[in-house]
C-alpha cells in the first residue's frame, strides 16, 4: 500500500476551493517511473508529486498521463507541506518564500509546459464557456479590473485524461504574468485564488494559500 496526502492548493480567501494535489512523501516507496505514472493515473488528481529527498526538496511530478519537469500548484503545495526554502525539479531549482499565510515560488516562464492563453472580453464570457474537446491546453482569461490587475480565468487541459477543467493552474498563471509583465490577482475555477508578479532576473512568482484536504482512509492506495 502506498501512503499519500492530499492538499488543496491556491485556496480562496475564505479557505475554500483550491486544486487538489496528491503527495507521496516517501518517493522511495514507488521508485520506478512506470509505477509512479500508474499511481498518478489511479489517484486521478490533475497532478501527483513524489518526494525523492524531503530535505533537499527534490520532487517528481506526474499528471494521470505524463511526467512534468515543472508545474505550479505541485510546487506550491509541496513547498508548504515540507517547509523547505527551495525545491529541486527536473526543470531547475525553485525558490520558495512565505508571506502572511501564503506560500510563493519563483520559476522561469520557459519551464512551464505549453499553454494556449486565450483572452476574452469579459469575466462573464469566461464563466459561460463550455469545456472544449480534447486536443489543446487552453487557459481562458479576462480582465475583471485591468487597473487593479484582477483576472478571471479557467483552465482546460484538453488531455482527455478525465481532468476536463483544472481548478487552479500555477504554470499557466506564470505564463500569463510573464506575457502581461505585471502583478496579478487571478480568480480561477470555482473560486481559487493565485497571486503572481514579476521578479528580478526574468523570474515569475506564483503563490497562494494551501490547506489539507479531508483525511484519506487508512492504508493508502494499492500498488498492485
What band does 141 get if pLDDT is binned at 50, 70 and 90?
A: very high
Look at residue 71 and tell me whether its pLDDT is greater than 90. yes
For position 117, what pLDDT does the model report?
Answer: 98
Pairing of strands 138-145, 116-119: parallel
- Does any domain span residue 100? no
One domain for residues 64 and 151: no
Residues noted as catalytic: 47
Number of helices (H) and strands (E), helices first, in the chain?
Answer: 4, 14
One domain for residues 24 and 52: yes
What sign does the dihedral 120-123-125-128 (CA atoms) show?
A: positive
Selected residue with higher pLDDT from 220 and 124: 124
One domain for residues 138 and 63: no
One domain for residues 197 and 130: yes
One domain for residues 87 and 10: yes
For position 128, what pLDDT does the model report?
Answer: 98
For position 221, what pLDDT does the model report?
Answer: 52
- Does any domain span residue 170? yes
- Does any domain span residue 179? yes
- 164-183 mean pLDDT: 97
Q: Which residue has the cell 521578479?
A: 199
Domain boundary among 67, 94, 121: 94
Look at residue 151 and tell me whether its pLDDT is greater than 80. yes
- Does any domain span residue 221? no
One domain for residues 45 and 132: no
What sign does the dihedral 168-172-176-177 (CA atoms) show?
A: positive
- 115-125 mean pLDDT: 97
- 24-43 mean pLDDT: 97
Q: Which residue has the cell 483544472?
A: 166
Look at residue 1 and tell me whether its pLDDT is greater than 90. no
Spatial distance between the Cα atoms of 84 and 95, rounded to a whole number of angstroms: 9
Number of domains composing the chain: 2
One domain for residues 123 and 79: no
One domain for residues 174 and 120: yes
One domain for residues 78 and 143: no
Of the chain, the percentage scoring pLDDT greater than 90 comes to: 92
Spatial distance between the Cα atoms of 132 and 13, rounded to a whole number of angstroms: 29
Residue 86's domain is classified under what CATH number? 3.10.310.10
- Does any domain span residue 103? no
For position 219, what pLDDT does the model report?
Answer: 42
One domain for residues 61 and 124: no
One domain for residues 161 and 74: no
- 17-33 mean pLDDT: 97
| pTM (predicted TM-score) | 0.94
Look at residue 60 and tell me whether its pLDDT is greater than 90. yes
For position 224, what pLDDT does the model report?
Answer: 33
What band does 206 get if pLDDT is binned at 50, 70 and 90?
A: very high
Which residues neighbour 93 within 8 Å (Cβ) at sequence distance 6 or greater?
Answer: 86, 87
For position 215, what pLDDT does the model report?
Answer: 53
- Does any domain span residue 216? no
One domain for residues 152 and 69: no
End-to-end CA distance of the chain: 8
Q: Check if the beta carbon of residue 23 is closer than 8 Å to that of residue 213.
A: no
- Does any domain span residue 220? no
- Domain limits for position 42: 5-94
For position 214, what pLDDT does the model report?
Answer: 72
- Does any domain span residue 73? yes
Of the chain, the percentage scoring pLDDT greater than 70 comes to: 96
Q: Check if the beta carbon of residue 186 is closer than 8 Å to that of residue 196.
A: yes
Look at residue 33 and tell me whether its pLDDT is greater than 70. yes
- 95-123 mean pLDDT: 96
Spatial distance between the Cα atoms of 20 and 7, rounded to a whole number of angstroms: 6
Spatial distance between the Cα atoms of 31 and 35, rounded to a whole number of angstroms: 7
- 25-41 mean pLDDT: 97
Look at residue 198 and tell me whether its pLDDT is greater than 90. yes
Amino acid at each position: 500500500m502506498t501512503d499519500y496526502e492530499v492538499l488543496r492548493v491556491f485556496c480562496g480567501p475564505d479557505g475554500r476551493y483550491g486544486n487538489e494535489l496528491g503527495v507521496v512523501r516517501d518517493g522511495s516507496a514507488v521508485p520506478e517511473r512506470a509505477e509512479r505514472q500508474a499511481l498518478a493515473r489511479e489517484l486521478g488528481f490533475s497532478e501527483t508529486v513524489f518526494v525523492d529527498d524531503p530535505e533537499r526538496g527534490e520532487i517528481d511530478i506526474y499528471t494521470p498521463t505524463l511526467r512534468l519537469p515543472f508545474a505550479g500548484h505541485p510546487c506550491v503545495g509541496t513547498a508548504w507541506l515540507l517547509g523547505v526554502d527551495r525545491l529541486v525539479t527536473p526543470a531547475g531549482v525553485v525558490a520558495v518564500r512565505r508571506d502572511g499565510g501564503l506560500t510563493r515560488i519563483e520559476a522561469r516562464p520557459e519551464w512551464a509546459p505549453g499553454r494556449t492563453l486565450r483572452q476574452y472580453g469579459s469575466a462573464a464570457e469566461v464563466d459561460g464557456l463550455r469545456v472544449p474537446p480534447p486536443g489543446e491546453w487552453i487557459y481562458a482569461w479576462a480582465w475583471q479590473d485591468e487597473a487593479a490587475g484582477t483576472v478571471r480565468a479557467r483552465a482546460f487541459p484538453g488531455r482527455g485524461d478525465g481532468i476536463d477543467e483544472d481548478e487552479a493552474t500555477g504554470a499557466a498563471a506564470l505564463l500569463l504574468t510573464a506575457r502581461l509583465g505585471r502583478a496579478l490577482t487571478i480568480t480561477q475555477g470555482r473560486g481559487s485564488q493565485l497571486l503572481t508578479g514579476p521578479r528580478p532576473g526574468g523570474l515569475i512568482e506564483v503563490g497562494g494559500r494551501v490547506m489539507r484536504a479531508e483525511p484519506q482512509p487508512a492504508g493508502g492506495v494499492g500498488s498492485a
